[in-house]
Amino acid sequence: MKNFFENKETKKINKKKIAITILIILVLIAVITLTIIYIKNEQFREWFDTSILQKEVDQNKLAIIELKEEDNPQIYAFNQNIGVLSKNKLKLYNNTGKEQANLTVEISNPIYSSNGRYLAIAENKGQKIYHITDNNITWEKTVEGNISQIQVNPNGYVAVIIVGTTNKTMITLYDDKGESLFNTYLSTSRVSDVTISKDNKYLAMAEIDTTGIVIESKIEVIDIEKVKTDAENSKVATYTFDNNELITNIEYQNKDQLICMTKDKIMQISLEGNKEEIHNNEKTKTTFQTIQLNNNVATIEEQTSNLFTADSIVTIINTENKNQITYTANAVTKDIYTYNDIIALNLGTEIEFINTGGWLVKRYKAEQEITDVTLSDNIAGIIYRDKIEIIDL
């Protein structure tokens, strides 16, 4: 009799396990089915993004930072803050619009560079530099000459391009503590861009020489450690380009891969000197291209959809495996903004924020033309004359 009741209880437990297993399987099937439909069906994806995931936000329904136009504020996003510089004060606000810090920064015409926790601010055509980590000023410097460009890497190293000295161009590199690591001088060429590798090993500079009949462009790479002890032999690579091929932007991505952008091409250059063409827009109607992404580059091509309208076809290319992903915006792109894995497309009265996987992250709809956007880690600011609207990404 005892064994009979024990067996009956065991059967009840087994039924419960079977029911749970069936429920889990049904949930998995539902999730997989929804995922497939989401990927394949554009209309369903649009409905799911707006109605379920709440990816669409409207003007005047977000946290704001109020501005005074007469203060001539300069706005820049970095880390998870939005900074407003005015009257030598840099105020940092979080995603709710609450002030987090108030820093004294004696700059009126700023140029910026940010990377993760680090922000470098300099006076455009001036002498002052400020290095900010999180919400604090780490160091500040005054240089001789006029600053034309700055660049900060993920570890807080800062490269500063200075003109107006006895040489045509000087580049100074500082570490995250503000120690000057070296200076390099160029007497006949100017520098169009500079980038520091993510591991602090290399500094690459794009040089343009316009003194001859044709424009000559080249990229030189300096070994940062070697330059301290043997400056004359610190250049580890030089890449030359065709005559009149103008380098507009260079960027170090992972594994010390150097990405170079010219007017018509995007190329990847290894330390050994191997060049690989990633994109060529000479025969396409490319309106924008960017290499300022995390291990990706992107191009935007305008494509006619009917007699009076056109779409923007965004092609995102992974620089490691060369996989390509496309995203279609149903309007002409007027401007783009990029940071790490986010691409923001200004479509006039809308901004579409997409990631490098080709998925919509957020859509912002305005009642007027959008003229300026600032973008950083998980935060964006839509800039108006009297306010900044804050978007969480």
What are the pLDDT digits (tens) for 239-266?
888 877 889 999 998 878 899 998 889 9
Q: Say whether pLDDT at 25 is over 80.
A: yes
Q: What is the pLDDT of residues 199-241, one digit of tens each?
A: 999 999 998 887 778 888 889 899 998 887 777 778 888 888 8
| Closest alpha carbon to 375 in 340, 349, 350 | 340
- DSSP letter at 254 equals G
Question: Which carries the bigger pLDDT value, residue 138 or residue 170?
Answer: 138
For 76, how many CA atoms within 13 A lie in the half-sphere containing its CB? 18
| Residue 5 confidence (pLDDT) | 47
What pLDDT, on the 0 to 100 scale, is given for residue 34? 80
CB-CB contact of 347 with 311 (8 Å):
no
pLDDT for position 241: 84
Burial string for 321-348 (b: 16+ CB within 10 Å, else e) reads: eeeebebebebbbebbbbbbbbbbbbbe
Rounded distance between C-alpha atoms, residue 353 and residue 56, angstroms: 10
- DSSP code, position 257: P
Place of tokens 């910026």: 112
* Contact present, 175 and 218 (Cβ < 8 Å): no
